[in-house]
Structures are given as structure tokens and as C-alpha cells.
Amino acid sequence: MFKRGSLLAVTALALVTAACDRKPTGQSVAVVNGEEISAGELNGELQMANVPPSADQKLARQQLLQGLIDRRLLAQAARKNGVDKSPEFLSRQRRLTDELLIAMNAERQAGSQKLPDQAAVDAFIAQNPYQFGQRQILALQQIAIEAPSDPKALAPLADAHSLDAVAATLTRLKIPFTRTSGRLDTASVPADALKRIFALPATEPFVLPANGKLYANVIVGREPVQMSQDDMRKAAMAALRQQNTRNGLAADVKQLRSTAKIEYQPGYAPVANATPAAGAAKK
């Protein structure tokens, strides 16, 4: 007669064997070391890949499936190494899950939104000329700055009124930088920020963050972007829907906070009427 421990061991072995013997049938398109890849997963990959209708769909599915298999194998290897048990993984997984839930819920709510009418769309276009009728690509001369850990170290740049002056100040402060060039689409810059930029003297640098660095910029050229009325209205419609989604999320947060029970460990609660942190950007 089997002892209890032996029975458990035999049962576990049987389960492992059954998983390894699993075959791709029904909604399963492949099995990787006993782990299924479903047709739904493959269809999701196909959607995200934006494969053109003119492309060979069967070949595209085969190639995407091989990519899915590679990803699954690498994930299995990571689990074997215990990565999925680490505190850092669990923290990142929670963040990604939260962000995915929020995004999918916002998409669901956006689908039920009432579309902006023509008057609202045309008003939005008129209120944001540099996104639409006066949209431009700005050619920039730039200085890329390795942002210091203490933002106050950059305070002397307030007295630098040209790129050469910025470079001289950074050299004196021993802050690393490189000279470069770039392009900026006015449609990607908030209207109030763009208004302040265009109000500056021609040689006055303005600073924008990008990719973990700070860039001091001077505009050296402008290229108009031609948009048809139909294209402008489509872009305005999309922008208005995004704006409505953001406003909806902000309203949701306000309402949810009003009814939520939130408790803090001592020292972690927000301070009422706190003074802005040193180095915060001035309005």
C-alpha cells in the first residue's frame, strides 16, 4: 500500500507527465514545454503587428508564432532562475498590471463616449493653431545636458542668453554636455509652453527634457506642415477624445479618493499646503 508521501509524489509526477504530453488542439496553436499558446494570443500579436492586408497573412502568423514561442521559452528560463519570485519582479508586475487595467478600462469608457460635434472640433482647431493650421517643424541647434542629481546646480543657466553662454556656463560648472541638432513638431508641445517659447528673443535658449536629458534649444529654421481640413478635423477629433479620457480619469480619481480608505505609515502621509520642492520649475 502507498504511503501518503509516496502518493503525493506519484500524483505530482503524473501531472508533470500529463503537461508534457499535452497536444495543441482546439484553441491551442502550440504547446511549449507543456504550456499552451492559444489562438487568441496569436491573434493579439497579429493585431499589434499591424500586418498590411496585402501581406501574406499565413506567413505573418507563422512568423509571429515563432516569436511567441521564443518569448515563452525565455520566460520559462527566467522562472527557472527564480526571477518571478524576486521582490523587484513582483513590484514591476503589479505596476504593469495596474497600468494595463487602467488603459483597458479607459478604452472601454472611450468607446461609449459621445463624439464631439463639428462645432467643438472646429473650435478646438481654432484654439490650437500650432497643432493644425499653423503647425510647423522647428529646426533646432541644441546643447544636450547630463542632468545633475541636484537641479539647483543648473540655476546659473538663468543668466545664459545664448547657446555659447550655456556652453561656457556648463564648462565652468563642470557639467557634461554635447552640442547637437534636432527637430521639434509644434503639435507635440503644449500650447502654453509654445506661446512662451515663441515670445523669447531669437537667440534666447529654452530648455526641454527628453530621454533622461535636458536640451537647451535655439530655433534656427521653420518648416510649415500642410494639413487638409479633413486631416485637421480627424486629428482634432482624436485629440479631443484623448483630452476627454484624461479629464474622465482625473474625475474618477477625485471621486474614488473621496470614498476610499487610505491609511499611511507615519512619515508617508502627504503634508497639507506643502512648499514646492526646491528646483521645481517656475511658472
Average pLDDT over residues 112-125: 87
| 0.95 surpassed by pTM | no
Query: For the range 226-231, what are the long-range contacts, defined as Cβ-Cβ under 8 Å and sequence gap of 24 or more?
Result: 227/132, 227/133, 227/135
Which pLDDT belongs to residue 3? 57
* Residue among 136, 142, 150 at smallest CA distance from 209: 142
Which pLDDT belongs to residue 109? 82
For the purposes of burial, counting CB atoms within 10 Å of the CB of 2, is it exposed (0-12), middle (13-18) or buried (19 or more)?
A: exposed
What SS3 state is found at 163? helix
Q: Tell whether the model's pLDDT for residue 235 goes beyond 60.
A: yes
Q: Tens digits of per-residue pLDDT, 164-212?
A: 999 999 999 999 999 999 999 999 998 899 999 999 999 999 999 988 8
Which pLDDT belongs to residue 281? 41
Which pLDDT belongs to residue 273? 62
Average predicted confidence (pLDDT) for the chain: 87
12-26, 53-67, 68-82, 132-146: which has the minimum mean pLDDT? Answer: 12-26
Q: Tell whether the model's pLDDT for residue 11 goes beyond 70.
A: no
